[in-house]
Amino acid sequence: SYDHWYDFKLGSSKYHLTINLLDGDSKIRVALWISEGKDIYDKLYANKDTIEASHGSALEWDRKDLQKAAWVADYISGFSYDDQSNWRELQELVITKLLSLKKSIQPYLNNR
């Protein structure tokens, strides 16, 4: 696929997990995208330390106060469309981080 993102449902239309290929930054973003609901973000952020400890690394927290959306993200360095030599390793890291992020945030999400 030529798409630079892939989304995974989590049981609510208010949020989903997403993978974004950021070729310009040479990174892959693995994130929880909250399309609406600052209360959801605020609940997660109130548990930031526990979530990050469970996930095993610091996350980027972006409330996006001037928008409806917000996100919680982790990044993997070393991505390039031009160099596919490390794609298998990056795929494994994406899967590991995606599952870890889901496990870390799931207790704080209400599937409404």
86-104 pLDDT, tens per residue? 999 999 999 999 999 999 9
Q: Is the pTM of this model over 0.85?
A: yes
Percentage of the chain surpassing pLDDT 70?
Answer: 96
Token code pair at residue 45: 């952020």
49-84 pLDDT, tens per residue? 999 999 999 999 999 999 999 999 999 999 999 999
**Which is more confident, 59 or 24?**
59
CA–CA distance, 101 with 31 (Å, rounded to integer)? 8
pLDDT at 111: 56
Q: What is the mean pLDDT of residues 20-38?
A: 94
Q: Under 8 Å CB-to-CB from 61, ≥6 apart: which residues?
A: 45, 48, 72
